[in-house]
Amino acid sequence: MNNDRLLTLGTGRLRTVAAILISEVNQVVPVNRMIDLAWDADPPASARGVVHNHVHRLRRLLAGHAELTTRGQGYALIADPCAVDANRFQDLVFGARDAEPRTAVTMLRQALGMWRGEALADVPGDRVRRMLGTGLAQARVAALQDLGAKLLVLGRYGEVVTELTAWLAEHPLHEELNALLMRALQASGRQAEALDHYHRTRRQLKDQLGIDPGPALDEAYLAVLGQKRAGAPRPARPPEVGPGPVAPQASGRLPAPRPAVAQLPPPIGDFCGRVAELATLDQHLDRVPEPGCVVLAGGGGAGKTTLAVQWAHRLKDVFPDGQLFVDLRGFERPPMRAGTALSAFLRALGVPEAEIPDAVTERSALYRSLLAGRRMLVLLDNAGTAEQARPLLPATPGCLALVTSRRRLSGLMVHDGAALVTVGPLAPADALQLLGNALGPERLAAEGAAARGLVERCDRLPLALRIAAARLMAHPDWSLACWTKKLADERRRLPELSAPEADLSVEASLYRSYRALSSGAARLFRILGLHPGTCVGVPTAAALAGREAERTRRHLAELCDAHLLAEQAQGHYVWAGLVRSYAAQLVAAEETRSEQDLAVRRLLDHFLRSGAPCG
């Protein structure tokens, strides 16, 4: 927190408890959640007492600066949100996105100047750093990108080089920042250095990660080549990359869109399966009225983006005027604003920064005007709501919007005529193929039964399968049978399916879906973690939650919309094993023992009365 005096918190879990409360200022934090985070889900019997003691000490330390109150089975730190550095940082970054470039640079420098190293670096506990610090670290990098882009607009190329060279010395593999540095070097007349930097970064990516440069670096490379040797042929790899943004015209008039805007991410090399989904998408392409919109909806980690990008690359000939892409971060905090996405699209279509309107409605109108008469594909990835996506939909025949989301986005279907394609788990054979692509067919053939068991423990979810494959590739001596047996223990399943070095985990993916729920649906989801089966009906769920049936039905519908449950038959709902494990973890962490016992008694009473154990 931003206080006038320095608080002495030591180096132990007092610092962890303080970090949790500060990160959720003015929100009630259940004691069980604090225990779970502070002890990495493995607390001692004395954990509750230790937390109480730490809270008592924090009250004394914060007296006169903030109020630490007890609320039910949790605690809330009551303070001005702007007293928290992380909130002040976010406010400055958000404000800068809609400010004119010079003001934005000042705000972004102030925001980045608040950092003193890695987020929560001095807070004990891997889990709390992963759950609370990852988003902050990503926001810091995004702010640095925004700063570089604004400085480029202002022509302050030397400052971009200085800022990014220092940061990239510690994080040399960040492609977007490397691309910004190349553009700044190019604009400064240092083309040879820009090319050297590209080739050095390409070698590092190949040597350390085994990958080729992505679109951002390739576009910067092509831009440097275009300036250095006019008319020189483009490199053969990758053919899908188009030219960079159009330079402003000297007359100040808005230029026409470039004919080859190509913002799609590269397709995944080991893509497999999804034959039915691809066929359905092809059918919708023929059937939907123009302008068209298709929503790809599915749970976190189901591979929606991978499928969307794969299909979009197949459609390049159908949309010869190019492809626009944006990650709307709809389930991140904060999500991208529609106005920010529109500004990026307008810049890609050649609109000078100074001529981008301030109002979102005006930006949307200009964007649709520039698309008029053209055939373009717009991929809106990870949309949180229909309202976030709607201003970005084309309004001209010949264009298609492809939207991915963890929700069905019914508003787009009702008001905008969108078609819906649901993305579920992979088919068993496709899941095995995805695992075999990573581990090799020989390893899978040697332990066929264990491999089949592993894909089922991963719920045939692409994210879980890729994490499992990465773990097994790192340990070629591990037995598939042994590791599959580990995943049979529900308490170990989610922790095992994580890749901390890549900031990826099934648990974090589920958390993003869970925190977007209404409070009633979130409580029902937690309570369902006490249900012993994989199928639940409305009466059973209502009894377990202690709520009336109609209210429970609405909350079940919300969980289905978020793809945390699936309605198998009318009034009967099923869920995957990983989702059930997460709900069981949540109910243990966020509901008191007495509340859990009461819910179980209500469930048993219901079973005795109805004689129907699955609802």
Residue-range domain boundaries for the chain: 13-83, 155-229, 275-422, 428-509, 517-610
* Residue reference for tokens 């007492």: 49
Mean pLDDT is lowest, of 45-59, 176-190, 326-340, 438-452, for 45-59
For strands 504-505 and 498-499, give the pairing. Answer: antiparallel
- Residue 75's DSSP bridge partners are 29, 70
| 590 vs 28: CA distance, rounded Å | 11
Token digits of residue 281 = 């998408």
Contact present, 36 and 526 (Cβ < 8 Å): no
From residue 351, give the alpha-carbon distance in Å to each of 5, 249, 256, 347, 363. Answer: 48, 9, 9, 5, 11
Confidence of residue 41 (pLDDT cuts 50, 70, 90): low
| Mean pLDDT within 328-350 | 91
Confidence of residue 220 (pLDDT cuts 50, 70, 90): confident
| The Cα angle at residue 576 between residues 570 and 582, in degrees rounded to 5 | 120
- Compute the residue count for the chain: 615
- Residue 60's DSSP bridge partners are none
Longest Cα separation, the chain: 82
* Residue reference for tokens 């809609």: 98
Confidence of residue 551 (pLDDT cuts 50, 70, 90): very high
User: What is the reported pLDDT for 313?
Assistant: 93
Confidence of residue 179 (pLDDT cuts 50, 70, 90): confident
| 589 vs 582: CA distance, rounded Å | 11
| 527 vs 594: CA distance, rounded Å | 13
User: What is the reported pLDDT for 11?
Assistant: 53
pTM of the model: 0.61
| 577 vs 537: CA distance, rounded Å | 17
What is the domain class of 517-610 according to CATH?
mainly alpha
Token digits of residue 426 = 């992979």
CA atoms within 13 A on the CB side of 60: 8
Domains 275-422 and 517-610 share a fold: no
- How does pLDDT run across 502-526, given as a tens digit for each residue? 667 898 899 889 988 998 999 999 9
- How does pLDDT run across 574-604, given as a tens digit for each residue? 999 999 999 998 898 888 889 999 999 999 9
User: What is the reported pLDDT for 289?
Assistant: 55
Provide DSSP, 329-345.
-TTSSSPPPHHHHHHHH
User: What is the reported pLDDT for 499?
Assistant: 78
Closest CA to 375 of 398, 397, 392: 398
Chain centroid to Cα 112, Å, comes to 22
| pLDDT score of 13 more than 80 | no
CA atoms within 13 A on the CB side of 225: 15
| pLDDT score of 246 more than 70 | no
| 378 vs 372: CA distance, rounded Å | 13
Residue type, 326: V
Confidence of residue 233 (pLDDT cuts 50, 70, 90): very low
- How does pLDDT run across 265-314, given as a tens digit for each residue? 998 888 889 999 999 998 888 765 565 899 999 999 999 999 999 999 99
Mean pLDDT is lowest, of 59-73, 340-354, 476-490, for 59-73
| pLDDT score of 527 more than 70 | yes
| pLDDT score of 163 more than 90 | no
Confidence of residue 81 (pLDDT cuts 50, 70, 90): confident
User: What is the reported pLDDT for 397?
Assistant: 81
CB count, 10 Å around CB of 414? 10
- How does pLDDT run across 113-155, given as a tens digit for each residue? 877 767 666 666 666 666 666 677 778 888 888 888 888 888 8
| 285 vs 279: CA distance, rounded Å | 10
- How does pLDDT run across 380-390, given as a tens digit for each residue? 999 999 999 99
| 273 vs 277: CA distance, rounded Å | 9
Chain centroid to Cα 66, Å, comes to 32
What is the domain class of 155-229 according to CATH?
mainly alpha
Token digits of residue 75 = 């605690």
Contact present, 565 and 573 (Cβ < 8 Å): yes
Long-range contacts of 426-429 (CB under 8 A, 24+ apart): 426/273, 426/274, 426/303, 426/455, 426/460, 426/461, 426/462, 426/465, 427/273, 427/460, 428/452, 428/455, 428/456, 428/460, 429/273
- Structure letter (DSSP) for residue 43: -
| 541 vs 524: CA distance, rounded Å | 8
Residue 59, Cβ density class (10 Å: 0-12 exposed, 13-18 middle, ≥19 buried): middle
| pLDDT score of 10 more than 80 | no
Residues 6+ apart with CB under 8 A from 596: 530, 587, 588
User: What is the reported pLDDT for 84?
Assistant: 74
> What is 275-422's CATH topology?
Rossmann fold (3.40.50)
| 529 vs 531: CA distance, rounded Å | 6
| The Cα angle at residue 559 between residues 38 and 389, in degrees rounded to 5 | 95
Cis-peptide into 334, omega within 30 deg: yes
What is the domain class of 13-83 according to CATH?
mainly alpha
User: What is the reported pLDDT for 202?
Assistant: 82
Closest CA to 491 of 545, 445, 529, 544: 529
Helices 549-561, 519-528: inter-axial angle, 10-degree rounding = 90
